[in-house]
Structure 1
Amino acid sequence: MVTQDVEFRDEDCGELLKLYKRGKRLGCGGQGQVFALTHRGFGHKRYAGKMFRSSSEARREASIMDMLHACPGVAHLEGFVKERDGAQCYGSIVMELCGPSLFDRLLKAGPMCEEDAARTIKKLAETIKEIHSRGIVHRDLKPENVFLKLDAAAADDVVIGDFGMATDDPREMAQCCGTGKYLAPEVIAIKFGKSSYTEAVDVWGLGLIAYELLRGCTEWRVMDLLRAGRFPDGLFSDGAADLLRGMLAVEPRKRTTLDRVLAHPWIVRHCSRSKTKAKIAHTKIMAIIQRTASRCGDHLGTTLQRLGKRPGIIRNALSERERRAQGFVVAPPRSWGEGEEGRASRERAMARAPPPRWLGHE
């Protein structure tokens, strides 16, 4: 399919521009062009907009994304805006604005450590399993179609996007489609008379993503060797190699399943280690809260201790520590009771309490 390099003019997407301001172009592919959008109301919230020339492609992708509404790990669909008849742009999918793709992340930072890669593979496997449970096969899984969340706090905070090649029609599982470098062997075999393929093509795509997470961006010829069944020796740890061999089995019937990916010892071990680190960090934050609470007045000290027992507060604090190596801001409680007694209680507590500060820095 020919890439649509010619940018849409404002008059071609007038209905969209009544609701959103168009920003820079984020990408361009066979199905459409993707732009940053800012809503003209509702707090100027930002989105991504994918603009289509073809009505059939627009309706198809919008329908697939609608079927995946509220699916964890999938870029959220906000809505669809149809243009007036005769415009070069048929309509636009408005969806969640994401951060950089895994491909961009690999180009910039290189391969991931095994722990981050394992958590990311686990998150993707869970998402793909949910997509399959809704009767949909993505068929174009690759690092360019996996995106970090805009406010990602961890390496595995990712979503799957670009459902232009996805299908829910079993009759379309005999089409040779996708991105050449990442095509599964059975998809290429369609050109040579093979009748059809199964959802196992997405396991192959996940396997190649996992390969690149651990090795960095990989040349096309390496992918050809993998499709020929020639898996390299000595590049991965034993556990990682065993998982990759299972996902990249040339025969679809011998390829591992998503359930087995999630239960693989290498995945379980690394993800369990991450949970242990989170518990250690939780313990350290609780210690900081206890020390700070002991220096505060009775009311504020009790409030700090209660905050420390709330999982959401701790989770947010952990995210902040991971991203900026800081604690979280402690604000005095807003409610002090009513009447003279409440006012007097507030004045006594505020007189004893130190000003709000960043926890975690002595």
Structure 2
Amino acid sequence: MARGSDESVNGSWKKQVDDIRKIFEFKEILGTGAFSEVVLAQEKATGEMYAVKCIPKKALRGKESGIENEIAVLRKVKHENIVALEDIYESPSHLYLIMQLVSGGELFDRIVERGFYTEQDASALIKQVVDAVNYLHTLGIVHRDLKPENLLYYNPHEESKIMISDFGLSKMEGAANDIMSTACGTPGYVAPEVLAQKPYSKAVDCWSIGVIAYILLCGYPPFYDENDSKLFEQILRAEYEFDSPYWDDISDSAKDFIRNLMQKDPEKRFTCEEALRHPWIAGDTALCKNIHESVSRQMKKNFAKAKWRQAFNATAVIRHMKRLQLGSSMDSSQRRKQNPTSMPGKSQSVDVSSVHRSDCSSMQAANSSSKTPERHTRPSTVTTIITGSK
């Protein structure tokens, strides 16, 4: 399939088609979202496998600018660590985004499955993410929803690269007066200035990378509270700690790297370029001690795998690859003082300005056991909502 086809329909980059199934054989649903579903599909002419995002046009009414923005961003980017948009088709009833297929599974799942995991591994993972986000920033693109669920392994191979996905909330910087101000993202990963509903910039992505790096080194999030209001207050104050004993064996260099990214003042926060130059990324300060047991234990406790998938069901992909015998063809803080609490299996992107604090209690769920510290579960199926145009 020729990526970035130059066929233009009514001024947009789409190919008209009456029935997409004449071109692709749909295999199975990989995941569903609020307004679309993602299907594993094989191109009949080439035998190549893709992930096809199927969007009913009736679901787009009033939201056309959002999908147009996502397409504009995806058409502009081409990076080895970013899931590619291969083509776009339009039928009378649907819009189809033909996406590069990634089948290696989610970041945390793969780490838990490993038997050996070190700071050096975490550094190598974060370097790929920072490099890709730096590329986006040089193009004037802000992702705005960086989180572990949007970091996928390209294939099941042990040395697989990481891919950034889901550009539904991304924003292309425009004119000087086009200031981003929409409060959007995922609670727990959004920067303080977003929650404060202040104008913000590319620095919000750097904050999110800091949060991800923090989790990669201890297995639990820097901010958590059963009550959304208190969670937001923690983030607004940039209130987090490197708790003992979970951080006792982590290098000072790693902590310095995180502090510079999770800097409350966006003007003082590391840019991606600065992050790439930090010794923990560019030097040899990341330790090689095996921290897998501690980190994986906390990840399993705080990020338990849910029964549903928001975007790509990697297990379904791998199963189907094997069925088609194509598997080998794919390219080779009080909360934690005693014990970190549990987090959701998935965290959904939301317009954080739309979460009324008085409504938060109705969305909470808690569970406990007789012999273990109380464990809380945050809501995992909040619908994506975007308001405003910035």
Q: Does 1:189 align with 2:196?
A: yes
1:119 and 1:179, CA in 2 relative to 1: closer, same or farther beyond 3 A?
Answer: same
C-alpha distance in structure 2 between counterparts of 1:48 and 1:165, whole Å: 19
- Runs of 4+ residues over 6 Å off in structure 1: 271-274
Task: Report the counterpart of residue 203 of structure 1 in structure 2.
Answer: 206
1:25 aligned partner, one-letter code: I
TM-aligned CA deviation for residue 20 of structure 1:
1.2
Residue 35 of structure 1 corresponds to: 39
Q: How far off is 1:110 after superposition?
A: 9.3
**Structure (1/2) with the larger helix percentage:** 1
| Per-residue deviation, residues 175-201 of structure 1 (Å, max 9, x unmatched) | 1111222111111111xxx2x101000
Question: 1:192-215: CA deviations, max 9, x gaps?
Answer: xx2x10100000111111112222
1:159-184 deviations in whole A, cap 9, x for unaligned? 11111100114436111111222111
Question: Is 1:175 the counterpart of 2:182 in the alignment?
Answer: yes
**CA pair 271-125 structure 1, distance change in 2 beyond 3 A:** farther
Q: C-alpha deviations, 1:91-116, integer Å up to 9, x for none?
A: 01111111212243356559942111
User: Which of 167, 170, 177 is residue 166 of structure 1 equivalent to?
Assistant: 170
Give the 3-state SS of the residue equivalent to 1:38 in structure 2: strand
SS in 2 for 1:25: strand
The equivalent residue for 1:154 is 159
Deviation at 1:128, TM superposition (A): 0.6
Distance 1:17 1:220, change over 3 A: farther
Shift of 1:146: 1.2
Instruction: Check the 8 A contact 1:111/1:216 in 2, yes or no.
Output: no
How many percent identity over aligned positions? Answer: 30
Query: What is the count of residue pairs matched by the alignment?
Result: 253
Stretch moving more, 179-188 or 108-117? 108-117
Q: Which residue of 1 aligns with 2:254?
A: 240
Partner Cα distance (1:61, 1:15) in 2 = 23
Alignment TM-score, normalising by the size of structure 1: 0.63
Contact 2:279–2:285 (CA under 8 A) maintained in structure 1: no
Match among 20, 23, 31 for residue 19 of structure 1: 23
1:227 to partner: Cα distance: 4.6
Residue 231 of structure 1 is matched in structure 2 by: 240
C-alpha displacement of 1:14: 6.4
Q: Which runs of 5+ in 1 are unaligned?
A: 1-12, 275-318, 321-362
1:104 paired residue number:
109
- The one-letter code sitting in structure 1 at the alignment partner of 2:200 is Y
Residue of structure 1 aligned with 2:96, choices 80, 86, 92: 92
CA displacement, residues 57-101 of structure 1 (integer Å, 9 cap, x when unaligned): 333212110011x223211211011121xx2xx301111111212
Correspondent of 2:71 among 30, 45, 62: 62
1:50 is matched with which residue: 53, 63, 68?
Answer: 53
Mapped partners of 1:145, 1:110: distance in 2: 23
Q: Which residue of 1 aligns with 2:377?
A: none
> 1:37: Cα distance to partner?
1.4
* Residue 214 (structure 1) aligns with: 217
Match of 2:221, SS?
coil
Cα distance 1:178–1:272, how it changes in 2: closer, same or farther (>3 A)? closer
Q: Spell out, residue by residue over 1:218-238, the C-alpha distance to the aligned partner (whole angstroms, 9 max, x if none).
A: 385167545522231342321
Instruction: Give 1:23 shift.
Output: 2.6
Provide the residue aligned with 2:131 in structure 1. Answer: 126
Aligned counterpart, 2:81? 73
Cα RMSD, aligned residues only = 2.8
The corresponding residue for 1:257 is 271
Q: Tell me if the contact between 1:26 and 1:34 (Cα under 8 Å) persists in the aligned partners.
A: yes
Question: 2:136, 2:239 → 1: CA distance?
Answer: 30
| Greater relative CO, 1 or 2 (CA 8 Å, sep 6+) | 2
Higher mean C-alpha deviation, range 252-261 or range 232-241: 232-241
Task: Label 1:260 to 1:219 Cα distance change in 2 as closer, same or farther (>3 A).
Answer: closer
Mark the CA change 1:227 to 1:242 in structure 2 (over 3 Å): closer, same or farther: farther
Aligned residue type for 2:25? K
Per the alignment, do residues 209 and 111 of structure 1 end up closer, same or farther by CA in structure 2, a change over 3 Å counting?
A: farther
SS of the aligned residue for 1:93 comes to strand
Q: Is the 8 A contact 2:82 2:132 kept in 1?
A: yes
Deviations along 1:20-45, one digit per CA (max 9) or x if unpaired, are 12233223334532221111120x11
Given the superposition, is the C-alpha separation of residues 109 and 216 from structure 1 closer, same or farther in structure 2, using an over 3 Å criterion? farther
Query: Do 1:49 and 1:92's aligned partners in 2 also have CA atoms closer than 8 Å?
Result: yes
Report the Cα offset of residue 257 of structure 1.
1.5
The equivalent of 1:138 in structure 2 is 143
Give the TM-score normalised by the residue count of structure 2: 0.59
5 Å matches for 1:301-316?
Answer: none
Larger radius of gyration: 1
Q: Which shows bigger deviation, 203-212 or 233-242?
A: 233-242
